[in-house]
Structure formats: structure tokens, C-alpha cells
Amino acid sequence: MNILITGSTDGIGKLTALKLAKEGHEVYVHGRSKAKVDSVIAEIKNASNNKNIKGFVADFSDLNAVKQLAEQIKNEVSSLDVLINNAGIFKAPLQKTKDGLDIRMSVNYLAPYILTESIISVLKKGSATRIVNLSSAAQSSVKKGILTGDVSTSANEAYAQSKLALTMWSFYFAKQHPNITTIAVNPGSLLNTKMAKEAYGQHWSPAEKGVDILYDLAMSEANKNESGKYFDNDKGSFSNAHPDAYDEAKIQTLLEITSSLV
């Protein structure tokens, strides 16, 4: 299979890439630093004995860089069977991107939205294609001002809004593309990753808990018909996301503002 995992130079993205590489899949890793992407490619090739590991570099806080990445993928990748939209940010030295957007909204929602919608032709060529979007237990109603960058809020609140926006779009996308299995997932709260340590200084569960669920949702036969659903790994089952994710009017408003931003 051809598999692209965004934000896969550390954390559960990297561990999932390694697990899939060991099974012999063609894996594309992604990160914002070329040096780090190159070193992770070398590390995974070495650990997995799989030479089919490639990489892409793009800073997801720069939406033009995301658009350029999409063009590069269309030129270099014939088809994708799995896309795991894993790249995410919680704490950051800068709260705003150079486009004036909240950095969490840009990286966690707008970037995967642009990337996925832009490479739909590559995804459609995959075999029984699946998309796994990384949501969170933290989901909070999306406020227009936070989405457009006109209003500032706490890191916690912006993160929770970005993750609900991703989930709302995920459900919409699943309806638009019935031949692609699209699932949103909370991989588990406070996993042992760099992001959780920076944000909270502690963890509740090993990172492997997140890796295992990403792997299952992307690969297992059992989940191929679960499109348009939300998996809550704190509960270990498919579950209800935030009520806004089922509100057609709110989803429509979100998408109208999103398309004007991108």
C-alpha cells in the first residue's frame, strides 16, 4: 500500500510510520524540517529493512506551503491508499501564522483540509482508500473570529476549536466521497508524546495506544465500513463527537468561511 502520514517525524505519527514500514508498505513521512525528515527516513529504512520510505517537507503553519506540497504529491505519487492527517500543534512560540491565523487552526484544521481536498485525484486512485483524521477529546464550538484569526483565545480553546473543525469537515467529506472511508479519531488523551509533555508536563498512557488505533482504523478489515464516524480511544469504541459535528447548518457555515480563507 501507499501511505502518507503527516507530522510523522516524531510522536505517534513516526511510530505508526515505522510499524507500517515493517510490514513492507510504501510510506511517505512528512515534517517541517528537511533535516529531520531525512533523518527519520534513514532511521525507518534501517529499522524496517524497507527501502520504500520517502518524505515531504512543508510547514503547515504556511498555507501556501501546504498548497505547494499538494502539487508535489500530485506530481510524484501515482496513488494513495491511506492518508493519516496526524500533524498537530498545541503549544507554540508564536500564536499567529504569517497569514494572521491562529497557528492551531492553521496546522490542525486548515492544512489537512487544503491538503486532502487538493490531492483528491491521487486518493481516488487508491485501492479502498482510507483517511484517518486526528481529532481530540478536546472539542469546542468553532467561533468565526478564531477561525479567521480576528480574535485571540487561549491555546487550550484554539486547540479544541481546531479539532472540532477538523471533525466537522471530516464528517462532511465522508458524505461527499462515499468511496473513501473517512474516520475521525481521538487517539487517546495525554499519550506519552512530545506534544502532551510540552502542553501538560505529564502523560496517562503510552504512545503505543495511539499507534495501535491509527493502525487499526487505517488497515483493519473491521473498520472499512465505518466512514463518517468518530472513534474515541479513551473509551475504546466508536462514539459521538461534539454535537456541532452533526449540525448541518454549522458545518455549512464552517465550510463557507473555510473556503473564503483558503
SS3 string, the chain, reads CEEEECCCCCHHHHHHHHHHHHCCCEEEEEECCHHHHHHHHHHHHHHHCCCCEEEEECCCCCHHHHHHHHHHHHHHCCCCCEEEECCCCCCCCCCECCCCCEHHHHHHHHHHHHHHHHCHHHHHCCCCCEEEEECCCCCCCCCHHHHHCCCCCCHHHHHHHHHHHHHHHHHHHHHHCCCCEEEEEECCCCECCHHHHHHHCCCCECHHHHHHHHHHHHHCHHHCCCCCEEEECCCCEEECCCHHHHCHHHHHHHHHHHHHHC
Confidence grade of residue 191 (pLDDT, cut at 50, 70, 90): low
Tell me the residue length of the chain.
262
Confidence grade of residue 127 (pLDDT, cut at 50, 70, 90): very high
Query: Which residue has 478536546 as its cell numbers?
Result: 138
**What is the rounded average pLDDT of the residues 169-178?**
98
Quick one: which of 109, 114, 167 has its CA closest to 136?
A: 167
Buried b / exposed e over 51-78, threshold 16 CB at 10 Å, is eebbbbbbbbbbbeebbebbeebeeebe
Instruction: Measure the CA–CA gap between 49 and 45, rounded to whole angstroms.
Output: 5
Q: Residue 157 corresponds to which cell in the numbers above?
A: 480553546
CB atoms within 10 A of CB 202: 9
Q: Residue 49 corresponds to which cell in the numbers above?
A: 529493512
**Domain CATH code at residue 12:** 3.40.50.720
Confidence grade of residue 197 (pLDDT, cut at 50, 70, 90): low
Mean pLDDT over the full length of the chain: 94
The answer for residues whose C-beta is within 8 angstroms of residue 150's C-beta and 6 or more apart is: 144
Q: How many domains does the chain have?
A: 1
For the entire predicted model, the pTM comes to 0.95
Whole domain around residue 39: which residue ranges?
2-261
φ, ψ of residue 160 to 5 degrees: the values are -65, -40
Give the tens place of pLDDT for each residue, 23-80: 999 999 999 999 999 999 999 999 999 999 999 999 999 999 999 999 999 999 999 9
pLDDT of amino acid 198:
59
Quick one: which of 45, 68, 64, 177 has its CA closest to 124?
A: 177
